[in-house]
Amino acid sequence: MTAPSKPRFDVPSIDEGTAPWWAATRDNKLLVKRCGDCGKAHFYPRPFCPYCWSESVSWEEASGRATLYTWSVVYSNDLPPFPDKVPYAAAIVDLDEGPRMMTRVVGCEFDALRVGMPLVVTFEQETDEVTLPVFRPA
């Protein structure tokens, strides 16, 4: 009998509600949900609109374009998988579709980061099931 594998706490959990989003990221696509009643897009994925509480929400592919809202350069993080990634720019970006998203900015010197900087999504594969959207200068 083989020992059960240890749960991993360094990658997100995938459930029924987020499985389509994770499947899209593996195909290098970024999805948001849009409300069929009020028309607003939202992120993170959830089964209702956070603006009007409608359950008439559906997936749509985002453009992948964003604007840098804020960031912080992280030089020390002992939680997996981040020790191998420091230093990195943890960021919040405004997607062109409207929602804000937490992410990292890659492919850019930290001194070049600016509020309002145009960014575009790129993807980093963490595991066979988890591919993360990160952003680079447009």
- Mean pLDDT of the region 86-104: 97
The pTM for the full model equals 0.89
* Residue 29 pLDDT exceeds 90: yes
Q: What are phi and psi of 103, to 5 degrees?
A: -165, -165
Average pLDDT over residues 25-35: 98
Confidence of residue 3 (pLDDT cuts 50, 70, 90): low
Reduced to 3 states (helix: H, G, I; strand: E, B; else coil), residue 22 is helix
